[in-house]
Structure 1
């Protein structure tokens, strides 16, 4: 579709909602009621419209407002269509970027590894409890315009709507920096109504391979290394998982192992015993939330050793149709877990639902026995205590592909509502089209398969 055609007609993308209630049945097939959302391209002029407040400035009192957020959205929307990447500092000066990341990082680092999210909030004015809707979002991978549609479609974060993002904000897409900055701004504005979990791509290794590092260096020029280091520091603070309303577990990859700890004999003259951590893969068992709470999440890349294996599992693991718990040989990191492990995890923690992400259409097409990601989600395990679903929120992914045939997948988000929050309502949506023209920040012809075995040696940082 040409720009002139785009400006002559516009259709609104309506999401499709289905409720899955019967654990014994697969989800009903989504009818093709979603339509392409036409993207209205701005004028080719590099002069911003007068309604934009450019360049962005940090509020004197350090407090963000809804107007500031909406202006940020409008500025990123306009600049992505009209300015080359190197002009981003004219929109978001590095000092404003620094201020935002600093405030957001402090918030994130104070949060626990596993967030406990209570949608029932006490109203201090009335004394009554208010019930809030929870929206869960999967991978977005720098697809800014699809994220903007998702936020409008679901309703922006607010006092009665909580958002939980399940990681992978950056890499592959052309606007990972803007995507991450926007979500940080929402976090600073509404810290108790938006939660950002970490994905496996929020790491030094992945961002060096899949484009985010080069994107930041390109957009901030001589300040690029500084900005990239700030992003890595912020990644370290991202929590690993959440429990919603006591019954829904969310994490980017999924389940994790227990790390046996064996105290050795106390040498004479020593007050403390030496602790020996035994990560023997021959005796793998599921970990506890107590173990998850003590994992050192600031480790961005391998080597993961001892209790630090847990973050690797949470971020990189995948479900399997084979019973049991085993090393994930396909990725080279994390675990595979079967339906029996899903049942054990749900039952032992009195949960009803696991929501994970991590697998897009490129990964799923090679996974025998699993549904694809054409609708942006799949229900992978249905067991006595509940179910496991995979949620992916980047439609028409990846943005850059080396083949003529595209996956053309839809993205999806999940809405959880009272009274029990355990029944997912799926909203699928198509990609915003056409995307503004952009160049990839990585060699996507050589890095095609996101599910290929990782080069672990290159992941080890000094």
Structure 2
């Protein structure tokens, strides 16, 4: 016998979410994932409720700084950092139940890539938004490279939303894109741990200006040479313009793209990330410089699953869900990945990882 379907979700009077409401949302999404075709999701989550949740969460997210500082932890506090989830709703629900739901002494930092490549990206993102609204100073949602128009149009999220919401799908998709723009780029936990989806970033350098042509002279912007790349500062990160649908790969606003798309390397220095066409590669010397300058002990990033690491030499594989990529004098750089069935439904099961510390 099929379980009794839950009632359609309603937005609470006054707009204040409760623990009961958030748990009800998770239970409803779990039920619908097992019992409803995707196109029937609006019968459970009306567009009006979606709008209210995304609007409320967006107002909170847009007020946060590019790099959120998570302070005020005491001896009873613990912090859980979660890597890529990629629409794997059931694994997110298990993670929250198994590790412990957010509460007064349990902080969560989600390191981006909530959507694409999994069947339940929308539900996954909305569950996280509901926790953000309920506990805004205990749950932190950072942006990943897949929280962009380009990636979601290429890797499944746009199609997922249009399938689930039909003629209202474009509206739902646009609202999600607007919410993505408000997601912070990085976090610093207790002044000791830096987290970001991709990692480190360059100091912005304005392109050089020159002119071409004698009769019709026009200004041409020349991109800086790779040799001029310099590690960026936290002040520069704070000043970057993050509210863009797609982080640019050229121009003066390169920090968002670097933070979301960059990868570590065993080669010293900074260099363009030619394989991705955006972002940087940075070496152990850059990790050491960044840790030492800001008196940090650890950098946690995500962004690379087992498929990505198979193509890169000199760095550890992701079959255990994490790797220690740089082990330098001042601390470590760790990559974590939290989607165990990736790419989903291709029988590529591996051990997912999170990082929990007190």
Q: Normalised by the size of structure 1, how large is the TM-score?
A: 0.73
Residues 122-271 of structure 1 correspond to what in structure 2 (within 5 A)? 131-260=76-205
- In 2, the alpha carbon distance for the partners of 1:358 and 1:308 equals 21
Equivalent pair of 1:278/1:306 in contact (CA under 8 Å): yes
Q: CA deviation at 1:263?
A: 11
Structure with the higher fraction of residues in helix conformation: 2
Q: CA deviation at 1:349?
A: 1.1
- Counterpart position of 1:377: 322
Does 2:56 align with 1:103? yes
- In 2, the alpha carbon distance for the partners of 1:160 and 1:78 equals 29
* Pick aligned residue for 2:297 from 344, 352, 358: 352
* Pick aligned residue for 2:29 from 76, 89, 96: 76
Q: Normalised by the size of structure 2, how large is the TM-score?
A: 0.93
- In 1, the alpha carbon distance for the partners of 2:192 and 2:222 equals 31
Residues 372-411 of structure 1 correspond to what in structure 2 (within 5 A)? 372-401=317-346, 406-411=347-352
Q: CA deviation at 1:260?
A: 3.1
Equivalent pair of 1:169/1:179 in contact (CA under 8 Å): yes
- In 1, the alpha carbon distance for the partners of 2:33 and 2:246 equals 31
Equivalent pair of 1:109/1:237 in contact (CA under 8 Å): yes
Deviation sequence 1:96-146 (CA, Å, 0-9, x none)? 0000000000100010000010142xxxxxxxx674210000000000001
* Pick aligned residue for 2:240 from 295, 312, 336: 295
Deviation sequence 1:418-450 (CA, Å, 0-9, x none)? xxxxxxxxxxxxxxxxxxxxxxxxxxxxxxxxx
- In 1, the alpha carbon distance for the partners of 2:185 and 2:30 equals 30
Q: Secondary structure at the match of 2:281?
A: strand
Deviation sequence 1:74-94 (CA, Å, 0-9, x none)? 100100000000000111100
Q: CA deviation at 1:410?
A: 1.0
Name the Cα RMSD after superposition.
1.8
How has the CA–CA distance of structure 1 residues 326 and 178 changed in structure 2, closer, same or farther, with 3 Å as cutoff? same
Does 2:34 align with 1:89? no
* Pick aligned residue for 2:70 from 117, 123, 142: 117
- Counterpart position of 2:353: 412
Larger CA Rg, structure 1 vs 2: 1
Equivalent pair of 1:255/1:317 in contact (CA under 8 Å): yes
- In 2, the alpha carbon distance for the partners of 1:259 and 1:281 equals 12
- In 2, the alpha carbon distance for the partners of 1:107 and 1:316 equals 25
